[in-house]
Structure 1
């Protein structure tokens, strides 16, 4: 099952899976493995909030730790050449079942399905190899793209090696309620869900000099690390030199020590991007993929982070505003005046879902951005 960073409605979906398994075999022994990937461990409070007091009190939960060698087993190599390490609980079970949700993913094409295994219950070495700079820079590693996506292909292989047998994936409405459910053989059910999600979320691209975006609220906007995803949605509509305004709560701050350190120590977005692209697959450091994508965006765009839950001074210290990049993104000044679109009126694109951003300037709002 997914961790605290994902809005999977586990209070509803997980009891359904447990009931069905026990109906078939009342004596079945069930371990619920929380697929944290390379995220921090889910706290007890977050566990209760996500799964409910009753489930946490009565079921056996195990938190995946990607750095704990005792939890992992080596299964050879991924198609890309990276080492494949997976959690022993997932490998030693007689039946591996997963739950998750499907939405466009900024480099894996779509979330859900095989992502429960890689990165969900994979070792850190495996995740880093799969998220290497060469793959992140591949033009097929983009939201909505599965065909030929090297990151997706590694993930499929890992799920097959883990013998993932059944999935329950959902798509969500804006209020995080369930929109549709897809269950069955993992690859077929996931592809059906992705096809429907693509049909429902694809809109004609309209370019605009100012693009306002968000991650769709908590938990997807809980830190800056997660907010980078929304920036990529805005990036697709914002021309070089344009301004991206990211609205995100960031209650959890930056979201990753390696991520924050890379940003704070970078001479410029250009320099950071050049350094990352020179890193070989087997030397990929933690969080490199996230700051690689953020640097790519900052090279060509002004980015403003609007938050009511994170100290603006902490953001400024982290991002060290005032540095120049190739197109001026990152300079400390007001965003450029919007260019006039044809017809005489300025266009501003607003993206509500599957979005994120990182800030050059920070603003604290007097009122909450959303209901939490």
Structure 2
């Protein structure tokens, strides 16, 4: 049993939590040792999976680099800088697209913070302006015009646990981040999400991941530089062919992030912190990662408690608005889930997955700026974790719930 006093992330800071009347265990993954992102990216570029960048890009090529958005803590300035140093084209021949998917546009300050010296090359993706470049299984593959028109498409990415793709990164940055609604509608629809193998932490034999990879064969990237991270920070980088990059870094991430847990907990206290606790759409991932992961540690009537700032409310993007609308209009989680099994708008999939989890377990959001919103969205609000956890409970604390694999 761990000390009943501990800290959890909240926004850019942390909160102290004391549960003296509870039996508390803490799930802390092994973590690994942090590396310098720029040095790791350079080493990966010098020893890529497949042909080196100089053989992928010709000197006369127009190059488009798709990078992650503010919802992922990817060191994009370091990754883009390492790539551009090795490109046989001038800076004038490079365009950077911010891979938003259906999330809100990044602000100028966020672009500057994320890309630094390369911020002037970047533009937000607009999914409504996406153009078709091919199809996979009859599903149109649409991408940002800059991606469609480029001679060479490159990307950055963060290989971290993902509810559907197993791990993010690879082709996902381009085909979802810089993609259009048809592909997002298909990949995030109820039929594909219900398929066996679509699960957190699984790459092999995962239909969701396989579809993204095939879409990447149509739209790009031809070459990517991705990183993975753990509690200590960035742990490793890999470069080259996207499938191999994801497999490589997923293996590193599993070793760094997996924790064996037993069942029977009354509550899981799940930490999120910035940037994911900015809105309810993102912060709710903590609950679904616990409940719908490889090993749900909760007993039948157990609950997940998530401290989250939610200074953006539900979120400002199209997908975030659809998420809120679906939950707020529902009479119950079971009713929302059954209705959405018939289909839903792209971006609303987070409501579908959350409703699936809420059928079995309560989710409490604490310390938020929008408690009424939380209640509106079929969850429970409390001022602090102490108010959300019954005295005498057996509690599992997961300080970094989005980067911990409970197995």
TM-score exceeds 0.5: yes
Structure 2 residue matching 1:126: 3-state secondary structure? helix
Correspondence 1:228 to 2:284: yes
State the Cα distance separating 1:49 from its structure 2 match: 2.2
Following superposition of structure 1 onto structure 2, how do residues 1-372 of structure 1 map, counting pairs within 5 Å? Answer: 1-21=67-87, 24-26=88-90, 29-52=93-116, 54-56=117-119, 59-68=120-129, 71-76=130-135, 78-79=136-137, 81-174=138-231, 177-207=233-263, 208-215=265-272, 217-235=273-291, 236-255=296-315, 256-279=320-343, 284-308=344-368, 310-319=369-378, 347-355=394-402
Structure 2 residue matching 1:300: 3-state secondary structure? coil
User: Contact 1:167–1:183 at 8 Å: present in 2 too?
Assistant: yes
User: Contact 1:167–1:186 at 8 Å: present in 2 too?
Assistant: yes
Q: Relative contact order (C-alpha < 8 Å, sep 6+): which is higher?
A: 2
Q: Aligned partners of 1:274, 1:108: CA distance in 2, in Å?
A: 23
Structure 2 residue matching 1:120: 3-state secondary structure? coil
Would you tell me which structure has more strand in proportion to its own residues? 2
Structure-2 change in CA distance of 1:72 and 1:267 (3 Å): same
Structure-2 change in CA distance of 1:335 and 1:278 (3 Å): farther
Structure 1 residue matching 2:80: 3-state secondary structure? helix
What TM-score, normalized by structure 2, do the two folds share?
0.74
Q: Aligned partners of 2:262, 2:139: CA distance in 1, in Å?
A: 38
User: Contact 1:30–1:60 at 8 Å: present in 2 too?
Assistant: yes
Unaligned runs of 5+ in 2: 1-66, 382-386
Equivalent pairs, count: 323
State the Cα distance separating 1:224 from its structure 2 match: 0.6
User: Contact 1:233–1:355 at 8 Å: present in 2 too?
Assistant: yes
User: Contact 2:230–2:257 at 8 Å: present in 1 too?
Assistant: no
In the other structure, the counterpart of 1:326 is none
Structure-2 change in CA distance of 1:95 and 1:299 (3 Å): same
In the other structure, the counterpart of 2:41 is none
Structure 1 residue matching 2:277: 3-state secondary structure? coil
State the Cα distance separating 1:266 from its structure 2 match: 0.2
State the Cα distance separating 1:210 from its structure 2 match: 0.9
Structure-2 change in CA distance of 1:165 and 1:257 (3 Å): same
Structure 1 residue matching 2:128: 3-state secondary structure? coil
State the Cα distance separating 1:354 from its structure 2 match: 4.4
Structure-2 change in CA distance of 1:29 and 1:161 (3 Å): same
What TM-score, normalized by structure 1, do the two folds share?
0.80
Q: Aligned partners of 2:324, 2:79: CA distance in 1, in Å?
A: 34
